[in-house]
């Protein structure tokens, strides 16, 4: 009897110290047949934890273990030669334009040449959507400590609210915090423009991922942004896009998906059944019990097989050769 393929459709090298060998060990342990191995490339990064995941390392892993790694590369679209680079790497075996994680709006014209290539080769494109936020960076010992503290506190949490009160009566703290503040601009924000792209490029398999995608998923759009507290009984923009467009997918990797779905198992089961042809299993390397979570939902056999690997295989098979 032929067993169904298992695919982790979202992994990287370097994150949590991952190497090709450590990923192979992970795959063997978890009985995963293949990993989609993705880049992260920004020429002018503003995210506090930016790490460059380069295309050469990804391609080397693929050439050494071609039956275990599916290589993907999303060049920074602000580079003039992004489209040419992508096409060159596609001819060498890169199978997707992922992970696209860049401080552009979906409406940016800079995306067009890259999306043209993706559409022509019918590539999957995993997108990281994330809203803008302030963060802090200092150089002196005190500044570094203060930055760490502010970075660690959630804006709506009580400790941060207490600090805000202190700032009102103690102006030096406010001035220092403002001096240390940097702004992360947000990744691929603007669902309206994403929707336009879905119709403009029907051959691209757009795969939703990232905090902004999951904040809005099954929720009143953009109203309640707290991942740990918001309910998932609504109908968000991502849900409508999944319902409306054949080329809209999502992966369930990273804490953003794990915590959102994990808050309400009954709802998660219904949603995974409903979108069984659209959802891809993935981890983004995070050491969270993703597989156990999907198993615990007791979804039907067909949905389980599709989500755990067959959807990823189908997407790759529909590429242009
Ligand atoms: Zn990722």
What mean pLDDT comes out for the span 15-36?
96
Distance 9 CA to ligand 1 centre (A): 10
Tell me the average pLDDT of the chain. 91
Give the per-residue pLDDT at 5. 95
Domain boundaries, the chain: 7-132+186-317, 135-184
Closest CA to 18 of 76, 47, 58, 45: 58
Distance 317 CA to ligand 1 centre (A): 22
Give the per-residue pLDDT at 232. 57
Closest CA to 199 of 144, 128, 238, 247: 247
Strands 181-184, 133-136: pairing is antiparallel
Give the per-residue pLDDT at 159. 86
pLDDT digits (tens, 9 = 90+) for 49-83: 888 899 999 999 999 999 999 999 999 999 999 99
Q: Does residue 1 have a pLDDT over 70?
A: no
* pLDDT grade for 94, boundaries at 50, 70 and 90: very high
Q: How much of the chain exceeds pLDDT 70, in percent? A: 94
Distance 284 CA to ligand 1 centre (A): 5
Least confident of 20-34, 62-76, 229-243: 229-243
Distance 7 CA to ligand 1 centre (A): 15
CA dist 44 and 254 (Å) reads 24
Distance 174 CA to ligand 1 centre (A): 34
CATH superfamily of 7-132+186-317: Metal-dependent hydrolases (3.20.20.140)
* pLDDT grade for 221, boundaries at 50, 70 and 90: very low
Distance 196 CA to ligand 1 centre (A): 24
Q: Judge if pTM exceeds 0.85.
A: yes
CA dist 41 and 245 (Å) reads 28
CA dist 245 and 199 (Å) reads 8
CA dist 257 and 272 (Å) reads 12
Strand partners, 260: none
Give the per-residue pLDDT at 219. 64
* pLDDT grade for 246, boundaries at 50, 70 and 90: very high
Q: Does residue 2 have a pLDDT over 80?
A: no
Q: Does residue 320 have a pLDDT over 90?
A: no
Distance 37 CA to ligand 1 centre (A): 9
Distance 163 CA to ligand 1 centre (A): 33
Give the per-residue pLDDT at 267. 85
């Amino acid at each position: 009897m032929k067993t169904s393929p298992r695919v982790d459709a979202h992994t990287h090298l370097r994150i949590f110290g991952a190497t090709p060998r450590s990923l192979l060990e992970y795959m063997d342990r978890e009985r995963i047949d293949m990993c989609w191995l993705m880049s992260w490339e920004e020429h002018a990064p503003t995210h506090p934890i930016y790490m460059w995941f380069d295309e050469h390392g990804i391609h080397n892993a693929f050439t050494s273990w071609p039956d275990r790694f599916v290589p993907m590369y999303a060049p920074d679209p602000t580079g003039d030669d992004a489209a040419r680079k992508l096409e060159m790497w596609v001819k060498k075996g890169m199978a997707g334009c992922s992970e696209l994680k860049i401080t552009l709006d979906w409406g940016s014209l800079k995306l067009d040449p890259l999306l043209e290539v993706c559409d022509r080769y019918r590539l999957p494109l995993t997108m990281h959507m994330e809203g803008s936020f302030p963060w802090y960076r200092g150089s002196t010992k005190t500044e570094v400590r203060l930055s760490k503290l502010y970075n660690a506190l959630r804006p709506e949490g009580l400790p941060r609210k207490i600090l805000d009160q202190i700032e009102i009566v103690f102006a030096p703290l406010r001035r220092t915090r403002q001096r240390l503040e940097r702004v992360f601009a947000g990744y691929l924000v603007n669902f309206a423009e994403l929707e336009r792209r879905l119709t403009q490029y029907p051959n691209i398999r757009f795969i939703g991922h990232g905090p902004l995608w999951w904040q809005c998923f099954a929720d009143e759009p953009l109203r309640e942004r707290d991942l740990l507290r918001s309910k998932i009984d609504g109908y968000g923009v991502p849900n409508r896009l999944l319902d409306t467009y054949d080329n809209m997918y999502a992966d369930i990797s990273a804490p953003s998906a794990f915590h959102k779905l994990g808050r309400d198992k009954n709802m998660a089961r219904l949603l995974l059944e409903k979108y069984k042809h659209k959802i891809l299993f993935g981890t983004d390397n995070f050491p969270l019990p993703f597989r156990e979570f999907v198993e615990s939902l007791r979804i039907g056999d067909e949905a389980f097989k599709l989500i755990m690997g067959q959807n990823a295989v189908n997407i790759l098979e529909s590429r242009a050769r």
